[in-house]
Structure 1
Amino acid sequence: MKLLKRTLALLLLIIGVIVYLNYNKLNIIAGYAAKNMASSVFVADRSVESIAQNDNNVPVIKLANTTINNETKLASSSVYGFMEREALYREGLGAVLINDEYNPNKFTLKPNRNRPLDTISYPYGQAKPKDTVFPELDMDQLNKAIAVAFGNPEVQKTRTALVLYKGHLVAEKYIDGFTKDTPILGWSMTKSVLATCFGILEGQGKLGMDWPAPIAEWQGDDRKDITLNHLLRMQSGLEWEEDYTKISDATKMLYLDSDMTLAQKNKNAIAKPTEVWNYSSGTTNLLSGILRQQFRTHQEYLDFPYSDLIDKIGMYSMVLEADMEGNYVASSYAFANTRDWARFGQLHLDKGNWNGEQLFDERWIDYITKPTQGSDGTYGAHFWLNAQGRFPDVPKDLFSCNGYQGQYVFVIPSKDLVVVRTGLAKEPDFDINGFLSEVVKSVQ
C-alpha cells in the first residue's frame, strides 16, 4: 500500500512538473482552440463538427477538447483536462478569450452598423451581379484557372475562390459547407483593413504618415523618432518575434493578453527606424490603439471602420473582433464572406473611389505599393507586393492582402483583376504563382 501511495504521489508530481513547464504552451493551445471555435460558430455560423474536423484539426491544437454552450455563447477548451480556456461571443465585437478579470459590465458598447439596401449590382451594391460578356476574357481558361485552385483538395485545401474583372464577377467557386454568404477569417488580411482606415483619415486631413507615433512612453528614448510610416511599413526597429510554431511575442499577445495594443508598445528598440524590416502583428495592434486615440470616445472608435469604410462599400458581412479591452485585433481577426473580401480589393483597384465617392486619396495606392526598404520588394505599407517578381509569371504591379493558412485578396491593376482565394493551406502546398498565372492568361 505504501509503495502504491508513493508511486501515485510520484506520478502526480511528474504530471505537476510537466504542466508547470508547459503552462504557457497549454494555455495557448487551449486558447487558440476555444477562440477559433467560438468565432467560427457564432460569427461564421459553422458547425462544431466541421470546425473540429478541419480548422482545429491541426498539429498540437487537435490535442484540445472544445465544447460549446449555445445559450451563453461560450466555447470552453482544455488539453487533457488541463488549462481550461474560455472564449465568449459579444454581439458586434465577435469572440474574445476571457480570463478571471473579465467584467461583462465594463464594456457594453458595440459598433453601430448601417446596412442600406440598394439596386446597384455587385460588387458596387447589394443587387445580383450582372451577366457580362468580355470578348477579351477567355472563360474556358478562367474556368481552368479556378479548377487549378481546387485540383488537389487534400493538399491545397482551397475553400473559396472568386475573380472580378473590370468590376464584374466573372468566376467563383465554393467547397461543400461554404457559400457566398459564409464569413471567412482573414487572419492577417485584417492588417490591410486597418491600414486603409489610416489612409481614410489621412485623406480627411486628420493625420499624416510622417507624424511621430503618439506614444507618451517613447518620448524619453530613441523610440520617439518612430513615425506612423515606420509602423505601417514594419520598420520601426522595435524588438518582436513573429513565430506561430512556438511561444513567441505573437502567440503570447493573441492568446494571453487582455490588451493587445500593449505588446509591441512595451518592446525596446533594437535598431533605428528604417534600419531593419521585421513583420510584426504587435505593430498592427499598436496601430489599432493609435487609431483609438484619434477619437474622443470609445464609441467613435468602434464606429469609424464601419461608417467610413466597411459599411460604406457594402461589406455587411464583415465583423472586426475586439480584445477584452475593446480594441480591434487588427492584426488577425476580421471575418467577411468571399464576395465582401473581393469588394475590399475592388476599392483598391479603383484607387479609393466607390460609386463616385473618393474614400481615400488615390495617391494612397502609390504609398501602400511603394516597396519598403529591407523587404526585398515584397512589402509596402501593410500590403504585400510582387515588385521584385516573387511570383515570376504574374505582373509585378500585383499587390495583396495575405493571411495565415493562405487567405488572399490579390489586386492586379494592369489586368483589371481582383482575385480572392481562401483555405487552410499556403505555399508551397497552394501554388500562388501557378494559380494566378492561369488566371492572368484568361485576359487576352
Structure 2
Amino acid sequence: MKFRKVHPWVILFRSKRKRRFTLLAAVLTLFVSAGFVLYQPLMVASGFTSHQICSETFVSGLDPEQVYDERVKPEGAIGLVSHLIHFNVDREKREVTTTIAGLYKTQAVYGEEMGCLLVQKPEDVNLAADAKLNSPVRPPDSLAPEIAGPGVAETSNELLRTAVDRAFTEPKNQPHIRTKAIVVVKDGKIVAERYAPGIGVNTPLLGFSATKSITNALIGILVRQGKLDIGQPAPIAAWQNEQDPRHKITLDDLLRQTSGLALKQTSSGFDPASRLIYLERDMAGFAEEAKLTTVPGTRWAYTDGNYILLSRIIRDAVGGRGPDVKDFAQRELFGPIGMKHVTLEFDATGTPNGANSMLASARDWAHLGLLYLNDGMVGIDRILPKGWVKYSSSQTLNTGYGAGFWINQETSGKAPYGLPWGMHHVPRDAFFALGHMGQFVVIVPSQHLVVVRLGVSHYSDGFIAGADRLVADVIAALQQDGVH
C-alpha cells in the first residue's frame, strides 16, 4: 500500500480550517440556542409593548410616546433592549405593531366593545371589529346613587388636600411616583379627588391585577344566582375525570390562589404565566393543561393563570361567548353599581382577561370599592351573596391574601415578588384590590372609607408603602377635621 506524503504546512492548514469550522459551528449553535431560549421573553416584551400602548392610546386616550416612556420602557428588563424596540401606532386602523431588532413582531388591535386584542392569527384582526355587532343595545340603569357631580370634587379640608397633593409630589430621586388619579370616598360621597394632566373623571385607567377583584365579583354574582358553588370541583371539562388529580381543584382554590397548578408567575418573560397572557390565543386552554405541583388547597402561589381559568368559567356559565360576558357584566355588575366607563379586554376565544386587563375610571373603581364596603349591597338591592365580602376578605393559609382581594394581615409568609404584606399604618380591617405599578382600591370598613389610587409607579414594593401613607394621611386628615 502506498502512502501519500503530505507537507506539514498542509496538515496545519487543514487543522486550522477544521478548528475554524468547529468554532463557527459552536458560535452558530450558541447563537441559535440563545435565540431559542430568548424567543419567549422577547416575544412577551414585544407583546406587552403592543398591548399596553394599544390599550392606553385607544381606550384611555393617552399619548403613546408617553405610555412607552412611563409604562413600558422602565418595566423589568425591557430597558435593556429598549434601543432595539420599535413600535408603530396606526390610528386609522387602530392598531399597534412592535418589533425588537426587526424581529419578534407582535400586533394589537382595538375594538370599541373589547378593548385591545393581541393578534395570534391573521383572522384575529377582524375579531375586534366584529365584536361591536354583538354589543348590548342599552346599558341598564344604575342602582347606585351619585357619589359626586360631573366636575372634579373640591375639598375644603386643607389637611385632606395636603394629603392628596403629597401623593402626587415626585421625590427628588427616581423611581418616579407618577400618580395619575386619586379618589377619596367617605360615607358614600367623594370628599377629595385629583387627576394628572390629560386625565379626567371619565378617563378609563388600567387596573392590572385589580381586575382580579372584578372577577371575584362576577363569580360571586353567579354563586348568588345558583349557577356556581365555590366548594365544588371547578367546572372545567378537561378535569372532569375523577382519576385526574386536578379534578379536586375547587373554585375556592382558584379564587384563593391555592390550586397547586404549575403556572408559576415571575413576570420575567420566561414563566408560564407570561406566556399564557402574551403568547397564547386561548389563554384558559393553555392554563387548563398545566400539571399539579402540590395538592390543591395546601400551598399559596400567586398566578394570573388561576384567574384566567375563573374567567373561562364565567364565560361558559353566561353563554359561552365574549359578547355574553360583556352583556352579563354590564347587566349584573357594572350598570347596577354605577361603573360607567369600563373596558374589559378579551382573548381571541372570547374569554375575558379577568386576571389583569380591565380599564375603568377612578370613580368606577371607587364604585367597586363601595360595593364591598356595603357588604355587596347597592341600596336595598343585593348584588353579591350574603357573606361574600367576609369570605373574600378572609385569610388564605398563612398569607395576606383573601380571595381576589389582599387583606391587611401581618404574617410570616412570603408575598410574591418580595412585596410586603399589608399596610402597617392603616386599620387592620382594611382590604384592597391591588394591581401592578401601584393600582389600589382600598376599603376600610371601620372608617366608612374607600381610597382609589392609580398610577405608573415602578417600585420594588409594589408601591404598597406609598398607598399605606396616603390612606393613613387621609384618615388622619378626616379625623382632625371632625369627620369620623
TM-score, scaled relative to structure 2: 0.82
Determine if the alignment matches structure 1 residue 235 to structure 2 residue 258.
yes
Determine if the alignment matches structure 1 residue 380 to structure 2 residue 402.
yes
Specify whether residues 142 and 358 from structure 1 end up closer, same or farther in structure 2 by C-alpha distance, changes over 3 A only: same
- Deviation at 1:152? 2.2
- Deviation at 1:44? 0.9
Out of 78, 82, 85, the residue aligned to residue 99 of structure 2 is 78
- Deviation at 1:105? 5.5
**Residue 16 of structure 2 corresponds to which residue in structure 1?**
none
Structure number with higher helix proportion: 2
Out of 37, 48, 51, the residue aligned to residue 67 of structure 2 is 51
Determine if the alignment matches structure 1 residue 406 to structure 2 residue 438.
yes
Out of 336, 360, 363, the residue aligned to residue 312 of structure 1 is 336
Distance 1:283 1:111 in 2: 27
8 Å CA contact 1:162, 1:171 repeated in 2: yes
Determine if the alignment matches structure 1 residue 94 to structure 2 residue 94.
no
- Deviation at 1:118? 7.8
Question: Secondary structure of 1:271's partner?
Answer: coil
Determine if the alignment matches structure 1 residue 443 to structure 2 residue 478.
yes
8 Å CA contact 1:114, 1:311 repeated in 2: no
Residue by residue over 1:52-106, the C-alpha shift from the partner in whole angstroms, topping out at 9 and shown as x without a partner, is: 2222221543522111111111100011211111111122011111123534566
8 Å CA contact 1:352, 1:358 repeated in 2: yes
Distance 2:442 2:169 in 1: 20
Kindly, what percent of the aligned residue pairs are identical?
Answer: 29
8 Å CA contact 1:129, 1:168 repeated in 2: no
Which amino acid in 1 is paired with 2:451? V
Which amino acid in 2 is paired with 1:23? Y
**Residue 271 of structure 2 corresponds to which residue in structure 1?**
248
- Deviation at 1:185? 0.5
**Residue 142 of structure 1 corresponds to which residue in structure 2?**
160
**297-306 or 32-41: which moved more?**
297-306
Distance 2:279 2:88 in 1: 20
**Residue 378 of structure 2 corresponds to which residue in structure 1?**
354
How is 1:414-433 mapped onto 2 (pairs within 5 angstroms)?
414-425=446-457, 426=459, 427=461, 431-433=466-468
Q: For this pair of structures, how many residues does the alignment match?
A: 430
**Residue 281 of structure 1 corresponds to which residue in structure 2?**
304
**69-78 or 355-364: which moved more?**
355-364
8 Å CA contact 1:232, 1:382 repeated in 2: yes
Which amino acid in 2 is paired with 1:48? P
Residue by residue over 1:276-324, the C-alpha shift from the partner in whole angstroms, topping out at 9 and shown as x without a partner, is: 0111100000011111221344243331111100122221211000011
- Deviation at 1:170? 0.5
8 Å CA contact 2:188, 2:370 repeated in 1: yes
Question: Secondary structure of 2:337's partner?
Answer: coil
Specify whether residues 116 and 195 from structure 1 end up closer, same or farther in structure 2 by C-alpha distance, changes over 3 A only: closer
Determine if the alignment matches structure 1 residue 203 to structure 2 residue 224.
yes
Specify whether residues 228 and 120 from structure 1 end up closer, same or farther in structure 2 by C-alpha distance, changes over 3 A only: closer
Which amino acid in 2 is paired with 1:253? L
Distance 2:144 2:236 in 1: 43
- Deviation at 1:346? 0.9
Residue by residue over 1:363-391, the C-alpha shift from the partner in whole angstroms, topping out at 9 and shown as x without a partner, is: 1111101111132xx11111110033832
**Residue 3 of structure 1 corresponds to which residue in structure 2?**
none
Distance 1:412 1:257 in 2: 38
8 Å CA contact 2:264, 2:273 repeated in 1: yes
Q: Rg: which structure is higher?
A: 2
Specify whether residues 213 and 413 from structure 1 end up closer, same or farther in structure 2 by C-alpha distance, changes over 3 A only: same
Which amino acid in 2 is paired with 1:431? G
Gaps of 5+ in 2: 1-20, 411-420, 480-484
Distance 1:170 1:126 in 2: 11
Specify whether residues 130 and 148 from structure 1 end up closer, same or farther in structure 2 by C-alpha distance, changes over 3 A only: closer
Question: Secondary structure of 1:405's partner?
Answer: coil
Distance 1:95 1:367 in 2: 33
Distance 2:40 2:252 in 1: 34
How is 1:54-133 mapped onto 2 (pairs within 5 angstroms)?
54-59=70-75, 60-62=77-79, 63=82, 64-104=85-125, 108-109=130-131, 110-112=134-136, 114-115=138-139, 122-123=146-147
**144-153 or 23-32: which moved more?**
144-153
- Deviation at 1:216? 2.9
Specify whether residues 34 and 350 from structure 1 end up closer, same or farther in structure 2 by C-alpha distance, changes over 3 A only: same
- Deviation at 1:132? 9.1
Distance 2:144 2:151 in 1: 8
